[in-house]
Structure 1
Amino acid sequence: VVFSADRAEIGVGLAVAGLSGTFPYPAAALAAGPWPLADGVTEVWARAAAGIPLLRTAQPVEVARLAFAAHTAPGRIDAAAVAQAERDLRSAVDLDALLALAARGRSDVVTPLMFEHRLLEEARRANQHIVLPEGTEDRVLRAADRLLAQRVCRLTLLGDEAAIRARAAKLGLTLTGARIIDPETSDLRDRFAARY
């Protein structure tokens, strides 16, 4: 199986699925791409799929898939050569020590996708209420639509409701679940002015 190195759920899922006994382990897994292998994959793999090779390449996923497919075509694998390579590896490398080192070492590198995923998960768990001013700006509307679609938080947009809805419609956004308050006409204005 070839998967993108920044997709932790695939690497972990392969190992855990095999461990469950419901699904077979893959013959090998290849994590491809220029990103560091996502946190936790190596540790889970070492515990749940210790006998299955977890390989790594910086090549793009598409290139890795083509190369992997070419080398695993029927009739191309020599079982005796694979067994000999495995014996050579085990005699030359202390695999237990290597796996222990890998389990201790964690990368501090966080890809933008990993950062976004963690941030969204934390926000979703916190169930916060976010108030966004400048409700007619495209970047604010796009961010609001995305947060609402992913159910990350409760959200209020500030601005003229008709203008906000018109701009959102023009951008193809729905803003379902958003509360819209016009600070110019809202009865909350006097209450907030007195408090703040």
Structure 2
Amino acid sequence: MIETIVKVFLRDKAGNLDSFTTTINLPEQESHAYYLGRSWNMGVEGDRMMECYKVETVEAGHTISECARKVSERLSSHFASTSGGWNVPKDMPFMQEFLSEIRTLCDLCLRAGPAPELLAKISNHLQTLGQLDQHNELSMIFWDEQKRHKIDMQPWIDEWHACECDFAAWYAGLPPDIQGKVIDYYRKQKSL
């Protein structure tokens, strides 16, 4: 689940201003859309209706895999020893087990695959393209391999049509190494 912390700016009909900061379980753009133009009762003793006229992001949300990657990097840089164990103070034996549990959790999160939000964005993006543009985009993912004649794209294009251009179904049927190339390609796309 992606969380975003936003500051919501309010104004009533008389021009009085107010604001509040909150966490919402939505990506950044969706959280802005959720609050903008909505009315909120800011009254304590009586009604004081105010409308949201502006939203600012305090902290953009992170996916589970982004958080797991960050924690994993910090574990390695701050606690990992060169012998493969953990550098922990002698008077804190529980830390050894705790750090190992955190590492396991990070590894599980990173192996869980891409976030459903990313798969939905990719699917929506591909659905806006015509058939030729879809083929071109899918071919671009494997451009380097095609140039070196290491991959034949036709089976993946055929499978794309067999799945009726359903990205999630097509993606699920790909071998893990191909899935990795697809997700790496889309994670680098600024437009998603």
Using the size of structure 2 for normalisation, the TM-score is: 0.24
Using the size of structure 1 for normalisation, the TM-score is: 0.24
